[in-house]
Amino acid sequence: MHPFSEATQSRILFAADLLRQAQHVIILTGAGLSTPSGIPDFRSEGTGLWAKDEPLEVASLSTFRTHPERFYAWFRPLANEIYTAKPNPAHMALAMLEEKQILKTVITQNIDLLHQKAGSKNVIETHGSLKTLTCTQCYQQYSYQAYLPIFLENGTIPHCPACESILKPDVILFGEQLPQKAWQAAQQAARNCDLIIVAGSSLEVLPVAGLPMQAIDRGAHLIVINQSATYLDVRADIIFAENVAEVIPAITEQVLYD
């Protein structure tokens, strides 16, 4: 167990109490949950993806439509890191909380499938995921397993076997609408919860960043676990500005075993 300060340990005990008392707990996870697994986040100074590239130039729907090779060149190293990443202790702890029926829903902005790899079942992917690709012309959908390894190995852009058009990974790019079913399910979860945890998200990307506000406006408690400040810190019951891969397992251990 990581040695926490007295103040942090006190907050861990308080957070565990909130989880025990809650009837319907959900969590919203962002890129910061996967950085301990080796996947870079977007906004960290010097190391974030947007410290090196302008997002609208490489990761927008318009770029994909006009210069798909530019998107794929940018995407390849990130996809490789995602493909080889393993769940970290935070992912594993959340899967345990779900198994014990304490955590009802994981809403994630991440596309890396690490929640599912850790064993979480009820995962809403608001920004899509890497598990499928869709043809840009005939809209046939394909599993990533037939295309991603070849793309990572030699950079071959995936094409549709039916019509030979380019396949697009089913991840949400800038300028693209969120998947409707996932977004509706996420809003429903936010409306129904009495405790929402925000973990590894700076809450800067709309509309997903508005979900915790929906929850607390209906009376839900809020726990924020993020190393940088969020716009909702002033309304949080507890704030942890510490490593999610240390704090979440500590809270989970407190809930399940103490």
Q: Which residues form the catalytic set?
A: 127
Residue count (the chain): 258
Cβ(28)–Cβ(196) below 8 Å: yes
CB atoms within 10 A of CB 67: 13
Instruction: Determine the residue type at 88.
Output: N
CA distance 146 to 127: 22
Torsion of Cα atoms, 101 then 15 then 239 then 186, to 10°: 20
The side-by-side arrangement of strands in the sheet containing 195-199 is 123-125, 103-108, 25-29, 195-199, 221-225, 238-240
- Which own/partner pairs from 20-24 qualify as long-range (CB within 8 Å, at least 24 positions apart)? 20/255, 22/193, 22/194, 22/195, 22/221, 23/194, 24/104, 24/192, 24/193, 24/194, 24/195
Nearest to 242 by CA among 223, 255, 257: 223
What does the alpha-carbon distance between residue 211 and residue 30 come to, in Å, rounded to a whole number? 13
The DSSP symbol for 159 reads B
Assess contact for 33 and 198: CB atoms under 8 A: no
